[in-house]
Structure 1
């Protein structure tokens, strides 16, 4: 009777742990947080001294991706070890089934020697399959002089499906983010090619024509004033077209951004703004092209909206770097009430920022101006 009560209690504990893990997965927690939660729940459930989630590597080794319990085992997150010799990790890799070792006294191999040195008395493990492939395993270890609970490896196996779901979801999110980032990079590269073609092709041809037209105008005798006037009108029109082309080229991909970086490009935006701008750009590094382009267009769109929709009289731009993230804030004193969902420009920027793993927020209470804040993770370029 007592055994039945104990078994029932174990089932209740297992189900409770599974519910907590499932809740963590369902709310979209970060992969590391999910795996840490799983290791913690399983360690507490089985009553062991430590629990680890381990990923198999292609070259006959394995890497710890989550760990819970006593640090004395010496296998923190990020540890990579060989599968040579005797261990639960090696047994699961060979059989793709739950495994158990109740002692390491006579076990061979570097991992067995490490565990013996750290007083591990026994371990159990269960395989984790992701999309039909053996991805890794979850293990529980005991350093005390008492055996692991019976069938504890099967308790671990009951949880591996949820672990696999968390890993698959994390991989899917990572693949989607990488795909979106590649699309952003490809679009930026296409923009830069178009800008370069305009600058080196059509723009240079128009400049050459303007020079020739000026030479022709200068060669006309002074008594032919009507012809000189007509050529002057044509030259002004050509100059206007050239200015329009330069502005369009800058909108496609600003040359100064590629040549000099974000800080000079922001200064250029501030100078050309129709609304007076106060710029504080504490940015002294080059960033990757996608980050610089995103930062530039975020500020450019905010300035355009401040002039066109907010009717602002002053804009303050702040650009700073903190914790490996580029922070951009644009505040105006306009009418407020901006609705990001109604503007394709802001929606496009939000998609671009999200693809880079960043975030963008807009605060625009009616009558109190608009504040746009964006954060972009970066690597120094």
Structure 2
């Protein structure tokens, strides 16, 4: 091989390694698989001289779906049978990279569509996720000459990264689902405890306090000492009842279960040590979302009173695009730090466990703003 040929080969290797690094960086950053799909399709389109590239996913009903496309003319979402894609069919049956030199003579709507796009031949490589065949990467050419002899190997390098991206995304989804189940189970337990307290101990204390008042009212004249002792006992029962109600409300406010987020936040605002201006939606939302939203505002109000020295807190909550959008902002001193033990870390865990996001902006001297988004589709 001449010097020029060696330089060309070296340049191709360098170019391929750079393309792989670009895709690997996306995978390492944990971007959604669709972004990785698009990047791989674009890199292959450019790298191996293909006229187009797609990533197909195998479906349970024996069809394939295009999940990424670059230059092929096949739009994302295109679906067809394995019969219409000889590359997909052979990869499915063999689990190995394959090459198809012609789509001629295949009588299937997908194959007809491919031929109408001028595609003559293709090379495909399997995508495996956790040992299971998930789909394949396919590079097309519209030229009469087939693609380079090493096209299968080059595609295979990228499909490994695609498989890793899908596996990582699935692992993250499983983690979020697991954390969501834990949060929901804990909230349900808190609600049951609150109901037990309300229906049991609280009602018993109410009955005892009423009975004590009745006994006090029936005391004969001339027993001031006994009346005073009984009055103190009654006051003690009433005080214990108030404390129990406060504890019960902290465990899980009954108004949240009965009326939803709007009434619960109004009740919270009335008890707040800081003035609260509310602009909140009144629609009922999934219970985990209502509970998370309530505790976000409760913690923010507590912090505003205890740490921020604020005089007013604005609370906005609205639903759009399938998400609850909440903003809690005060006019305090700012400088809030999630690592300082103010409860913000716990709120972050709760919100993220439901697939939401929470953002804190608290510049010193300029108040604190807490922005939360929670998806309404909680499983």
Aligned counterpart for 1:30 among listed residues 23, 29, 32: 32
Map Cα deviations across residues 122-153 of structure 1 (whole Å, 9 max, x no partner): 22100112222222110112345554343322
Q: Measure, in 2, the Cα distance between the counterparts of 1:365 and 1:21.
A: 37
Q: Measure, in 2, the Cα distance between the counterparts of 1:231 and 1:84.
A: 89
Which deviates the most, 196-205 or 3-12?
A: 3-12
Is 1:230–2:236 an aligned residue pair? no
Q: 1:149 to 1:195 in 2, by over 3 A?
A: same
1:320 is matched with which residue? 318
Equivalent residue of 2:167, what SS? helix
Aligned counterpart for 1:47 among listed residues 31, 49, 52: 49
Is 1:11–2:13 an aligned residue pair? yes
Equivalent residue of 1:350, what SS? helix
Task: For 1:1-381, list aligned pairs within 5 A.
Answer: 1=2, 4-71=6-73, 73=74, 76-84=75-83, 87-143=86-142, 146-281=145-280, 283-343=281-341, 345-379=343-377
Q: Measure, in 2, the Cα distance between the counterparts of 1:54 and 1:186.
A: 38
The answer on whether the counterparts of 2:119 and 2:142 sit within 8 Å (CA) in structure 1 is: yes
How far 1:21 moved relative to its partner? 0.8
How far 1:339 moved relative to its partner? 1.8
Q: Measure, in 2, the Cα distance between the counterparts of 1:219 and 1:5.
A: 109
The answer on whether the counterparts of 1:142 and 1:148 sit within 8 Å (CA) in structure 2 is: yes
Q: 1:150 to 1:108 in 2, by over 3 A?
A: farther
Q: 1:208 to 1:63 in 2, by over 3 A?
A: farther
Return 5+ residue gaps in structure 2 as ranges: none
The answer on whether the counterparts of 1:87 and 1:111 sit within 8 Å (CA) in structure 2 is: no
Equivalent residue of 2:319, what SS? strand
Equivalent residue of 1:140, what SS? strand
Equivalent residue of 1:259, what SS? helix
Q: Measure, in 2, the Cα distance between the counterparts of 1:134 and 1:159.
A: 15
Equivalent residue of 1:309, what SS? helix
How well do the aligned residues superpose, as a CA RMSD in angstroms? 2.3
Q: Measure, in 2, the Cα distance between the counterparts of 1:79 and 1:243.
A: 63
Q: Measure, in 2, the Cα distance between the counterparts of 1:101 and 1:289.
A: 53
Q: Measure, in 2, the Cα distance between the counterparts of 1:22 and 1:183.
A: 33
Q: Measure, in 2, the Cα distance between the counterparts of 1:84 and 1:210.
A: 80
Equivalent residue of 2:186, what SS? helix
The answer on whether the counterparts of 2:72 and 2:140 sit within 8 Å (CA) in structure 1 is: no
Q: Measure, in 2, the Cα distance between the counterparts of 1:272 and 1:336.
A: 23
Q: 1:228 to 1:77 in 2, by over 3 A?
A: farther
Equivalent residue of 2:343, what SS? helix
Which deviates the most, 49-58 or 245-254?
A: 49-58
Q: 1:270 to 1:143 in 2, by over 3 A?
A: same
The answer on whether the counterparts of 2:313 and 2:331 sit within 8 Å (CA) in structure 1 is: yes
Aligned residues: 377
The answer on whether the counterparts of 1:92 and 1:99 sit within 8 Å (CA) in structure 2 is: yes
Q: Measure, in 2, the Cα distance between the counterparts of 1:276 and 1:158.
A: 60
Q: Measure, in 2, the Cα distance between the counterparts of 1:292 and 1:80.
A: 39
How far 1:70 moved relative to its partner? 4.0
Q: Measure, in 2, the Cα distance between the counterparts of 1:79 and 1:289.
A: 37
The answer on whether the counterparts of 2:33 and 2:162 sit within 8 Å (CA) in structure 1 is: no
Q: Measure, in 2, the Cα distance between the counterparts of 1:166 and 1:246.
A: 50
How far 1:117 moved relative to its partner? 4.5
Q: Measure, in 2, the Cα distance between the counterparts of 1:24 and 1:217.
A: 76
Q: Measure, in 2, the Cα distance between the counterparts of 1:35 and 1:121.
A: 23
How far 1:243 moved relative to its partner? 1.3
- How high is the TM-score relative to the length of structure 1? 0.91
The answer on whether the counterparts of 2:288 and 2:378 sit within 8 Å (CA) in structure 1 is: no
Return 5+ residue gaps in structure 1 as ranges: none
